[in-house]
Chain A
Amino acid sequence: DTAVSQTPKYLVTQMGNDKSIKCEQNLGHDTMYWYKQDSKKFLKIMFSYNNKELIINETVPNRFSPKSPDKAHLNLHINSLELGDSAVYFCASSPRYSGNYNEQFFGPGTRLTVL
């Protein structure tokens, strides 16, 4: 019954490693997002995809590469992890790419800790 799911929930890794976070939504939504929430709880958009196409890339370092194999999945791959990448990463989805009412549904988050 999970609407937006992410794996893993926790990820602890060393600096310089490469890691991936997976996201899946079973709501039939067209648009998916990745957000980063830092230690001060500030939630900031990173990427937005609509029907597998990249729509928004908010000046995120190119070490971060999203991939959408189909519109139900949006994965996030991070190369050469840095200490500053430690945060909670939330995946979200919404029904339409644009429109007046467009509630976003968030996944449970992935807490990434880089040592």
Chain B
Amino acid sequence: GQNIDQPTEMTATEGAIVQINCTYQTSGFNGLFWYQQHAGEAPTFLSYNVLDGLEEKGRFSSFLSRSKGYSYLLLKELQMKDSASYLCAVREDSGYSTLTFGKGTMLLVSP
């Protein structure tokens, strides 16, 4: 089984930087995903990490430490449209592609 923890809510102001943490405990590991979900919409893919280190993609970056069971999503130059839920998801090293999601972090960006 898997246990994935992330903060329930975070707030930040426009133009700031925010870091959303995710810790996981799994029997195996074959990749960690971050998804963004706006209210009433489908989750959309943001990033994927399978090796330790930082993956940068525009204003968003994701970091992984497999030894610590830890990842974070870093959002820079926050915009109002970044207000959404951010879901951390882990794929176990079981040969399946099924993802186990954390409960999501609701980020509210204020002016």
Instruction: Answer yes or no: do A and B interact.
Output: yes
Interface residue ranges of B32-73 to A (CB < 8 Å):
33, 37, 41-45, 48, 50
Contact B48 A103 (CB under 8 A): yes
Q: State whether the Cβ of A48 lies closer than 8 Å to any Cβ in chain B.
A: yes
Chain B interface: which size bin? 20 to 34
Q: State whether the Cβ of B31 lies closer than 8 Å to any Cβ in chain A.
A: yes
Binary interface profile of A, 64-99, with partner B (CB < 8 Å = 1, else 0)? 000000000000000000000000001000101111
User: Could you say which residues of chain B place their CB within 8 Å of the CB of A55?
Assistant: 96, 98
Residue tally, chain A, CB below 8 Å to B = 27
Contact of B101 among A42, A48, A109 (CB under 8 A): A42
Q: Which of A's residues lie within 8 Å of B, judged by CB?
A: 31, 33, 40-45, 48, 55-56, 90, 94, 96-109
Q: Which of B's residues lie within 8 Å of A, judged by CB?
A: 30-31, 33, 37, 41-45, 48, 50, 85, 87, 91, 95-101, 103-104, 106
